[in-house]
Amino acid sequence: MSDAEIAAQTRNTAAFIALDPTVIELQPQVETITPSGARTMTPGTARDPQTFKLIPMTFDQRPTTTPDGVERIIDYHLLGMPDALVEVNDIFFMDDFPNDYFLVVAVSDGHQYETKVLVERHLMKDGLQQVVP
C-alpha cells in the first residue's frame, strides 16, 4: 500500500470513528502470583483517554460457565487510530453499562491505518455487580 493510500485510509478511519465516537480509559492489568502459586490480575495505572468506535459483533449473549456461575458475554470490535495504545487484558468501563466491564482479548494484526481490537463485554451475573478478574 502506498503512502497516499495509507493516508487516505487513515482519514477514512478517523471519519468513521467521528460518526459515533466512544472515549475510554484503557486500564492495563498486572499479573501477580499469589503465595499459593495462583495467578491473579490486578488493575494497573489507566492510560490517557482515547477515542475509538465500539462495534457490536453480535446482538446475542453468549452464556459462559465460570466458577462463580453463568456469565453473559457480548463480543465487540474496538476500532481506533493506528497510534492507539491497547494491549490484551486491558479493561475499561462505560457509563452506559455501569455494572459491566470490557476486556480486551485480542489485538488484530492490523493495517497501517487503524488499530482493531476484539473486546468482550462481561454482563452482571444474577443481579450482582461483576467483579473484575
Q: How high is the pLDDT of residue 60?
A: 57
Residue range 84-131, pLDDT digits in tens: 999 999 999 999 888 888 999 999 876 899 999 999 988 765 544 444
User: Where along the chain do its domains lie?
Assistant: 3-122
Which of the four CATH numbers 3.40.50, 2.60.40, 2.30.30, 2.40.10 does domain 3-122 have?
2.40.10
| Residue 29, beta-bridge partner list | 43
Query: Phi and psi at residue 126, in whole multiples of 5°?
Result: 50, 40
Task: Give, in order, the Cα–Cα distances in Å from 62 to each of 66, 78, 80, 118, 119.
Answer: 12, 18, 25, 15, 13
The predicted model scores a pTM of 0.79
Residue ranges of alpha helices (H) inside 20-114 are none
Q: Which residue has the higher pLDDT, 128 or 45?
A: 45
Is residue 127 left, alpha or beta, with left meaning phi > 0 and alpha meaning psi from -120 to 50?
left
Q: How high is the pLDDT of residue 127?
A: 46
Whether the CB-CB separation of 97 and 48 falls below 8 Å is answered with no
Residue range 65-84, pLDDT digits in tens: 555 655 667 889 999 999 99
